[in-house]
Chains A and B, each alone.
Chain A
Amino acid sequence: MNAMVPMTPAAAMSDALFALTLALLLLAPLAIAGVALINAGLGRSRSAAQALLGNLALGAIAVIVFALVGASFAGTPGTSEAALHVAGKIWGVLGLGPFLMHGLGSAAPQAQLALLFEFMAVAMAAMIPWGSGADRWRLSAGCAAAAVLAGIVFPLAAHWIWGGGWLAQLGANFGLGAGFLDSGGAATVHALGGLAALALVWIAGPRRGKFPREGLSTAMPGHNAVYVLFGCLLALVGWLAWNTAGAVIWLHAPLAALPGAAINTSLSAAAALLATFAVTRFRFGKPDASLCANGWLAGLVTSTACAALATPAEAIFAGAVAGFFTPLLVEVLELAISIDDPSGAIAVHGASGLWGLVAAGFFAPQAGQLTAQLVGIAALLGIVLPLVYLLFALLNRLVEFRVDPDGERIGMDLHELGGGAYPEFVIHRDESYR
């Protein structure tokens, strides 16, 4: 199997390819469902209903805000944009399309598919930080943060990368490969979501009792490993659809290239799982279920950047690296720098997304592609992270992120919803409050 040559000129899409891509996009929400289930399972039982309702609510807010304003700022290649003219080059910064998706019905089929893809992407990006704020992030604050991400941050990144903005034009303007490549949303969805998760946990702080005055941090394991592991299987189906649809929409891949993208997605996840399995077996004596789930997801996230560009051997390598480092990074984040991230989103989505983008730079055939990918990563770290932090810090003054101590003690389900996810079960008292 040969590596696919990306960014071939967009030809008119055949009806068959349109129908196939649409069908794939209708399966892509299974990735969102899988991540939602994983987030719920990795949280505590007394916050499980709030966690899943939050995933639904954040996704709902994100798609509505994106439809109202975000899609306009994201734009599509060839439409009007706000641009800077520096050194004789045009630097597209922000799309200036019509609001409320005006003219959607008369848009080209490929543009309609791109918009549908962005709807899935914005929902996923908004949900990723939710898992990191489990057991302490208020639902109303989560919805407000989702609106900010969907209305400002995601459209900005989406325009730069998918909407013909300055990152997409790095190839044409500076001869850097085919410009910044991100066919599955490793940057716009996963790295953005992971960096937003980091900003969130910095602002909201750790769960009460997580980091005691003395000794190691308190272990607060997820309440349902079955949800977590089934979520991984569900996510695989969604990711296969997501990556293959992304290859068609953003790289203009031919039909013959799609099986390779799907195979690489599976290989990356499989290699990552086995690597995490081996690392946790070596470190703890037994494989750790939740970390293995994190490893599997890290492999899938890595594949979003490079599944359509890599050979199978390269996909295995990229997945194995993600799977090897993810459990170690989860451990470092918690034990060395006191970051309380129940879902592991910072390592799984943030770090693995960034690694996938670097790997895509290594695997792509064009000269200068690695530089283009690194410039994109620099934009994510240097602009997107500080911007998200600033917006979240301002939002925290308007809608307080963190629940009050009493709410945290009794659980988010009772405090925010008035009832638990498992009303017939006895919920055990938290040992850390003794």
Chain B
Amino acid sequence: MKYAGLLVMPAGFLLTLAALLLFPDPTRRLAFVMCGLAVEAMGLAVAVRGHMPARGASRP
């Protein structure tokens, strides 16, 4: 799951690039860039969840 999250993050970045190329209108462009960031945030959340150690994993 942690790798899936890290793969979703570049996908969000590609959305922001698409916003630059597809939307000349500043408002729509900003909204689409925000959508890309939201996708990145979801990927980050999945990566964080995947890296959370099981309780007790760090106990010697």
The answer to whether A379 and B55 have CB atoms under 8 Å apart is: no
Which residues in A have some Cβ–Cβ distance to B below 8 Å?
Answer: 86-87, 170, 174, 202, 205-214, 337-340, 367-368, 370-371, 374-375, 377-379, 381-383, 385-386, 389-390, 405, 409, 433
Closest beta carbon of chain A to B2's beta carbon, Å: 7
Contacts of A368 in B (CB 8 A): 26
Contacts of A86 in B (CB 8 A): 21
**In-complex Cβ contact of B30 among A210, A370, A377, A390 (8 A):** A370
Q: In the complex, A379→B16 CA distance in Å?
A: 9
Q: In the complex, A194→B26 CA distance in Å?
A: 30
Q: In the complex, A382→B19 CA distance in Å?
A: 15
Closest beta carbon of chain A to B21's beta carbon, Å: 5
The answer to whether B6 and A338 have CB atoms under 8 Å apart is: no
Closest beta carbon of chain A to B49's beta carbon, Å: 8
The answer to whether B9 and A208 have CB atoms under 8 Å apart is: no
Q: A170-B20, A202-B2, A378-B16 are in contact. List 20 more A-B contacts (CB 8 A).
A: A86-B21, A205-B57, A211-B53, A211-B55, A211-B59, A212-B56, A212-B59, A338-B52, A368-B26, A371-B26, A374-B33, A375-B17, A378-B37, A381-B13, A382-B11, A382-B36, A385-B44, A386-B6, A405-B60, A409-B60
Closest beta carbon of chain A to B53's beta carbon, Å: 5
Q: Which residues of B24-60 have CB atoms within 8 Å of chain A's CB atoms? A: 26, 29-30, 33-34, 36-37, 40, 44, 47-49, 51-53, 55-60
The answer to whether B16 and A375 have CB atoms under 8 Å apart is: yes
Nearest 5 CB-CB pairings of A with B:
A382-B13, A213-B56, A378-B16, A202-B51, A381-B40
